[in-house]
């Protein structure tokens, strides 16, 4: 049997739940909807909060919260064939219970932790590198194109920090975003038509001050481009206003 889910984390866990229920020996694969031609017997599993919660609660109770954390972050890394690898991880976790995470020499544990680390690192990096622009009307807008799906896990940080502002963080690659209206943050789809923005009057001025600041603090004698690129990979540059236009990359 091939289980098909909607691409979300809860959808995936619902598929795992069903697969488990039907007996794992019959599970050929778990696939994201639209992942290509699928041959063989398929079953679409809609995302179901109750099923997902059963698995997460079970993991939490038997193996501790960290196990769930790694699972979620590893899922967000969107690595090829993540579904079966993560299924293996979940099975191992339920088998080994409390001691599970110490088994670093188990390939499933090790790999999942590597993936989770990838997501965690990118999240941390982008918490600093994300740039908001003020739009007409005062809303703050932050466009990104991250490698891992980190926007949902970045949001809580900004809810605490910018709690009295209205803002949106937009993942342009996945066309999703988190919108915060001063009360709660919700995950939203952002269709292509909404991808143009109008910035406020003072936006350009503050951006110019920031770029000037950035230019001034560089110590010319210690110029070190490889080092800068190592910390601030080029793939993020299009959204980082102080280096975006190339004037500071010279």
Partner 1 sequence: MKWDVMQKKLTILSDAAKYDVSCSSSGSRRENKAGGIGNGAYGGICHTWSADGRCVSLLKILMTNYCIYDCAYCVNRRSHETERAMLSPEEIAELTVEFYRRNYIEGLFLSSGVYRSPDETTELLIRTAKTLREEKNFNGYIHMKGIPGTDPRLIRELGKYVDRMSVNIELPSSAGLKLLAPQKTKENILLPMREIRSGIAERKENRKASRKAPAFVPAGQTTQLIIGATPDSDRTILRLSEALYKQVELKRVYYSAYVPAMTGPNLPALTQPPLLREHRLYQADWLLRYYQFSADEILTDAEPDFDLHLDPKACWALRHPEIFPVEINKASYHMLLRVPGIGVTSARRICAARRSAWLSYDTLRRLGIVLKRAKYFITCRGRFYGESDRPDYIRSRLLDAEQAGRYEPMDLFAGVNS
Cα separation of 164 and 21, whole Å?
A: 45
Which DSSP state fits 195? -
Strand partners, 135: 199
Q: Which of 224, 234, 235, 247 binds partner 1 (CB under 8 A)?
A: 224
Per-residue HEC secondary structure of 111-172 comes to HHHHHHHHHHHHHHHHHHHCCCEEECCCCEEEEECCCCCCHHHHHHHHHHHCCCCCEEEEEC
Between β-strands 42-44 and 133-134, what pairing exists: parallel, antiparallel or unpaired? unpaired
Q: How many residues line the site for partner 1 (CB under 8 A)?
A: 54
240 binds partner 1 (CB under 8 A): yes
> Per-residue string for binding with partner 1, 163-192, x by CB under 8 A?
xxx---------------------------
221 binds partner 1 (CB under 8 A): yes
Cα separation of 83 and 206, whole Å?
A: 45
145 binds partner 1 (CB under 8 A): no
> Per-residue string for binding with partner 1, 86-105, x by CB under 8 A?
-------------x--xxxx
Burial class (CB within 10 angstroms; exposed 0-12, middle 13-18, buried 19+) of 202:
exposed
Q: How far is the CB of 92 from partner 1 (least distance, A)?
A: 13
13/142 with CB nearer partner 1: 142
Binding region for partner 1 (CB under 8 A): 99, 102-105, 110, 124, 127-134, 140, 142, 157-158, 160-165, 202, 205-210, 212-214, 216-219, 221-228, 230-232, 240, 242-243, 248
């Amino acid at each position: 049997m091939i289980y098909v889910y909607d691409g979300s984390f809860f959808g995936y866990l619902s598929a795992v739940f069903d697969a488990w229920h039907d007996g794992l020996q019959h599970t050929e694969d778990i696939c994201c909807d639209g992942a290509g031609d699928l041959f063989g017997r398929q079953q679409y599993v809609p995302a179901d909060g109750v099923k997902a919660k059963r698995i997460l609660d079970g993991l939490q109770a038997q193996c501790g919260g960290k196990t769930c954390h790694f699972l979620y972050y590893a899922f967000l890394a969107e690595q090829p064939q993540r579904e079966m690898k993560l299924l293996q991880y979940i099975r191992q976790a339920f088998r080994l219970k409390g001691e599970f995470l110490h088994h670093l020499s188990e390939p499933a544990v090790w790999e999942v932790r590597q993936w989770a680390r990838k997501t965690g690192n990118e999240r941390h990096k982008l918490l600093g590198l994300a740039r908001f622009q003020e739009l007409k009307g005062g809303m703050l807008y932050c466009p990104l194109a991250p490698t891992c799906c980190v926007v949902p896990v970045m949001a809580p940080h900004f809810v605490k920090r910018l709690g009295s502002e209205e803002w949106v963080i937009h993942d342009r690659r996945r066309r999703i975003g988190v919108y915060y209206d001063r009360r709660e943050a919700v995950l939203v789809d952002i269709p292509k038509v909404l991808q143009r923005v109008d910035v406020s009057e003072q936006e350009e001025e503050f951006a110019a001050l920031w770029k000037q600041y950035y230019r001034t603090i560089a110590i010319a004698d210690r110029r070190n481009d490889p080092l800068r690129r190592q910390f601030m990979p080029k793939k993020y540059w299009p959204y980082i206003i102080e280096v975006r236009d190339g004037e500071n990359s010279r």
